Amino acid sequence: MINDPTYLTRLRIPTVENPLRILVSGCLAGHSCGYDESSYGEYPVVQKLLQSKRVKAFPFCPEAFSFGTPREMCDIHGGNGEDVLNGKARVLTESGTDWTEGMIKASEKMLELARIEQIELAIMMDTSAACGSLVIYNGNRFAPNKIYQIGSGVCTAQLRRNGFYVISQRDYASLEIVFQKIEVSHQPDEKAKDHHETEWFKSYFQKP
Ligand code: SF4
């Protein structure tokens, strides 16, 4: 597991009066804040979770905050989100514009929201240079030989270094634990896997 595996099992049992406070990528909440003004498709498990009366969702799109919508696509070059925060990697758009400063400001805004709203969990869209939580692109995703790397986007890195717990829309085993918290009668899917447990992840990152 990429972060503390006991965190979710230790989450409190939320109620309608005191719902679980979840920060979520705006696009995962269905907002048309993607670079192309889409929401990058539907993620039924996340949407079902956010519809629960025992969940209070706080959607936020860090890239829309700093760069508006529509906008160029961007990726991290020379490292991951943590490296960007440490001044060792850059965020560049597909045309080469440097968005590093704006992305760091967006991460600070997201952190401010998480603190003000006393977020208990964040669910972020994976592979995004901002929101990625496990897998991101290594350089330009539109390059002919696009490459993935293990790492967080800039905003997820900012949340994590400040103590917030982040999962992605692909962490189905983790989402099952959250469902058990918000609905005691929920029957967990024992076959559900987090993204790092999938065959794709293992085969891609175990390549020689
Ligand atoms: S920055 Fe995050 S919330 Fe905004 S569109 Fe990209 S993945 Fe979604």
Query: Which atom, in ligand 1's list, is nearest to the CA of 130?
Result: 1
For the Cβ of 125 lying below 6 angstroms from any atom of ligand 1, the answer is: yes
Asked whether residue 165 carries a pLDDT value surpassing 60, the answer given is yes
- Whole-angstrom distance, CA of residue 103 vs CA of residue 183: 36
For the Cβ of 132 lying below 6 angstroms from any atom of ligand 1, the answer is: no
The confidence band for 1, taking pLDDT boundaries of 50, 70 and 90, is very low
Q: What is the pLDDT of residues 77-108, one digit of tens each?
A: 999 999 999 999 999 999 999 999 999 999 99
The residue whose CB lies within 8 Å of the most ligand 1 atoms, and thus the one to mutate among 131, 168, 169, 170, is 131
For the Cβ of 29 lying below 6 angstroms from any atom of ligand 1, the answer is: no
User: Please, what is the average pLDDT of the chain?
Assistant: 95
Asked whether residue 2 carries a pLDDT value surpassing 70, the answer given is no
The residue whose CB lies within 8 Å of the most ligand 1 atoms, and thus the one to mutate among 63, 74, 109, is 63
> CB within 8 A of 9, min separation 6: which ones?
177
In this structure, the residue with its CA closest to atom 4 of ligand 1 is: 61
Q: How far apart are the CA of 185 and the centre of ligand 1, in A?
A: 32
Locate tokens 């390549």: which residue?
207
79 three-class SS = coil
In this structure, the residue with its CA closest to atom 1 of ligand 1 is: 63
Q: What is the pLDDT of residues 122-138, one digit of tens each?
A: 999 999 999 999 999 99
> Cα–Cα distances in Å, from 50 out to 33, 35, 90, 175, 193?
18, 23, 33, 11, 20
Query: Which atom, in ligand 1's list, is nearest to the CA of 26?
Result: 3
The confidence band for 3, taking pLDDT boundaries of 50, 70 and 90, is low
Asked whether residue 56 carries a pLDDT value surpassing 50, the answer given is yes
